[in-house]
Copies of this chain bind each other. A is one copy, B any other.
Amino acid sequence: MQDPTEIAGEPSPGLVSTAIQAITQHIRSEGLAPGDPLPSEAAMTRQLNVSRTVVREAFRSLSAMRLIDMSAGRRATVAKLDTGAMSMVIEHGITTQQISVHQVYDVRRTIEMRTVALAALRRTDAEAAAIAQSARLMRENFKNPEIVMEYDIAFHEAIAAASHNPVFSLIVTAFSGVTRRTWVIGWRTRSSDEDQLKMIKGHEDIAEAILIGDPRLAAEHMALHFDKSVKALLDAGIA
């Protein structure tokens, strides 16, 4: 017909994939920024000369990856960077046992030793305060594991944000889902209040190092923190 992406040799990738290509291509060639509107489904339907079904599935796919935002009645818009797709990939890897929790922790350790160092160098005062605040709230709620966990996650995400590199934020946040599934297990191995408070102290040390702007010290504390966390998971028998 008039399919511009039809290339001999390659089996047809399907009309939907073609449509997805067309949409992302449109974003690129028009230089669209987050919030900018995309063509309506009807317009795309005419432009690509396919049924609305195809166009819809393409839009929906991009929406699932959080590359665009959709809502009823309004045109789809270019989305802000979001961790949705990434965390789904990681979750998928975990649930289908293609990756292990330990492997994720190794990656987290690698990345967060860098984010914490960057945070120590580049944090604003507000960011340093937010990080310290999360640590403080962990201590104040240490009797309630669920809450401690959420502040723990917020703590690490705040550090990533303070690194001022959104790619780090993206990855760290993508791992948060895994953390939510394993955190409590590690916490339980720290049976005594003393152990648990010691772990919280580790967070405070990190926050302090960021506050005084010592990247090396911050990275050291972070490494220590991860080593203990991994040990806790090992003790709990997590492969």
Chain B nearest CB, measured from A174 CB (Å) = 9
Tell me how many residues of A have a C-beta within 8 Å of chain B: 53
Beta-carbon contacts of A151-167 to B below 8 Å, as 1s and 0s?
A: 00000000000000111
- Whether a CB of chain B sits under 8 angstroms from the CB of A34 is yes
Task: A28 to B91: give the CA distance in the assembly, Å.
Answer: 10
Task: For the complex formed, measure the closest distance between the CB of A113 and the CB atoms of chain B, giving whole angstroms.
Answer: 8
Chain A stretch 80-115: residues in CB contact (< 8 A) with chain B: 80-82, 85-86, 88-93, 95-99, 103-104, 106-107, 110-111, 114
Contact flags (1/0) for A164-196 with B, using CB distance below 8 Å? 011110110000000000000000000000000
Which residues of chain B come closer than 8 Å to A80, judged between CB atoms?
Answer: 98
* Contact partner, A89, options B60, B63, B86, B103, Cβ 8 Å: B86
Most buried by B among A4, A78, A92: A92
Q: Does A61 contact B (CB under 8 A)?
A: yes
A65 on the interface (CB 8 Å rule)? yes
- Tell me, in angstroms, the Cα distance from A20 to B88 when the chains sit together: 11
Q: Is the CB of B111 within 8 A of A64?
A: no
Interface residues of A (CB under 8 A from B): 4, 16, 20, 24, 27-28, 32-34, 53, 56-57, 60-67, 69, 71, 78-82, 85-86, 88-93, 95-99, 103-104, 106-107, 110-111, 114, 165-168, 170-171
Contacts A64-B65, A65-B88 aside, 6 further interface pairs with beta carbons under 8 A come to A4-B69, A64-B64, A65-B85, A81-B96, A99-B167, A103-B165
